[in-house]
């Protein structure tokens, strides 16, 4: 086992205090322990590191050469741990700055709910604000400082000025219908299907619009005759449930309905629409601790999706 994983905080506390007091007895009093307990802890530490850290010096003790070397690191390490514990206690009891998160619709119904649950369970007191909308609008708010970070698709290079992107997972565009739709269950569809049914499409300013245009060209599909531009996932779900519409949307938005069988994916190859989804932050601008903590939650949640 790695030595660093065997060393406990109690080992560092006992060693640093003995070194400071130059006495096991006085260190035991300060630590509210018995002298044998302190001696035993020091011996455990010496066995772990494989070196004698404390030597007899007449009636007292002194650090060995190895002990002097180890003390420099043990002291700073123990101070860092204590500082971290104090900072957590302060954050948990004092309301900090709000954590302002922007999320595309595909993220707001998949990764975001679980991330919010984890954040609330952490005990942090910073208020949490989640804003959904088009990628372009969210990025503008991020640049202005109205958002701490955005979770969405990777923007085009020309839209990445002053921003940085950290990819976390990938998503693709799909053509979705309700299970009662006349096309449900078909293994292939004609290229003119978009001219025969109402179609919900992402507007020109949306992040997935270029991907949709590309796949339609690749498939030789006719342009929709009855097109409704929207990025509203709630409207999309309601409209599909009440009409024979086709919805062109990121798969993550409707993953739950596809899993339950309520919605069905049309057999259209959309592999070319696969794109990275991740964290977008301001370049050279470190977010406050609570926002960084939420970003770590999003990373963990994304790795599990």
The C-alpha atoms of residue 224 and residue 201 are separated, in whole angstroms, by 9
Spatial distance between the Cα atoms of 23 and 38, rounded to a whole number of angstroms: 10
In this predicted structure, what is the pLDDT of residue 2? 56
Check residue 174 and give its pLDDT. 95
pLDDT at res. 90: 58
Q: How many CB atoms lie within 10 A of CB 136?
A: 13
Q: What one-character-per-residue DSSP string does the chain give?
A: --HHHH--HHHHHHHHHHHHHT-HHHHHHHHT--HHHHHHHHHHHHHHHTS--EEEETTEEEE-HHHHHHHHHHHHHHHHHHHHHHHHHHHHHS----EEEEE-HHHHTTHHHHHHHHHHHTT--S-EEEEE--HHHHHHHHHHTS-SEEEEEPPPGGG-TTEEEEEEEEE-EEEEEETTSTTTT-S---TTGGGTS-EEE--TTSTTHHHHHHHHHHTTPPPPSSEEE---HHHHHHHHHHS--EEEEEGGGGHHHHHHTSEEE-S---GGG-EEEEEEEETT-PPPHHHHHHHHHHHHHHHH-
pLDDT value at residue 305: 63
Q: To 10 degrees, the CA torsion angle through 181, 182, 187, 191? A: -100
Q: What is the mean pLDDT for each group of 10 consecutive residues in the chain (305 residues)?
A: 70 87 87 90 89 83 87 80 67 70 84 91 87 85 91 82 88 95 92 92 85 90 90 91 95 91 95 89 82 90 77
Cβ neighbours around 305 below 10 Å, total: 13
Rounded Cα distance between 17 and 79, Å, is 12
pLDDT score, position 95: 61
């Amino acid at each position: 086992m790695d030595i660093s994983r065997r060393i406990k905080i109690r080992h560092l506390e006992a060693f640093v205090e003995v070194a400071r007091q130059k006495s096991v007895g006085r260190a035991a009093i300060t630590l509210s322990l018995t002298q044998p307990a302190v001696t035993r802890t020091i011996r455990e530490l010496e066995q772990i590191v494989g070196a004698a850290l404390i030597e007899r010096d007449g009636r007292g003790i002194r650090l060995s050469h190895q002990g002097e070397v180890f003390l420099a690191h043990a002291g700073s390490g123990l101070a860092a741990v204590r500082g971290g514990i104090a900072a957590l206690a302060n954050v948990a009891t004092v309301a900090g700055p709000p954590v302002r998160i922007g999320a595309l619709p595909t993220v707001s119904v998949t990764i975001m709910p679980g991330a919010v649950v984890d954040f609330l369970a952490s005990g942090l007191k910073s208020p949490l604000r989640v804003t959904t909308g088009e990628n372009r609008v969210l990025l503008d708010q991020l640049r202005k400082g109205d958002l701490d970070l955005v979770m969405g698709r990777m923007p085009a290079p020309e839209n990445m000025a002053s921003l940085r992107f950290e990819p976390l997972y990938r998503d693709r565009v799909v053509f979705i219908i309700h299970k009662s739709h006349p096309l449900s269950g078909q293994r292939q569809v004609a290229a003119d299907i978009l001219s025969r049914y109402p179609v919900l499409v992402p507007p020109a300013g949306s992040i997935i619009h270029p991907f949709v245009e590309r796949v339609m060209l690749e498939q030789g599909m006719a342009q929709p005759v009855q097109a409704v531009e929207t990025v509203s996932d709630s409207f999309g779900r309601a409209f599909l449930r009440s009409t024979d519409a086709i919805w062109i949307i990121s798969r993550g938005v409707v993953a739950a309905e596809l899993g339950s069988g309520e919605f069905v994916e049309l057999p259209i190859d959309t592999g070319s629409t696969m794109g990275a989804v991740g964290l977008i932050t301001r370049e050279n601008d470190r977010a406050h601790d609570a926002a960084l903590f939420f970003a770590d939650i999003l990373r963990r949640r994304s790795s599990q999706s």
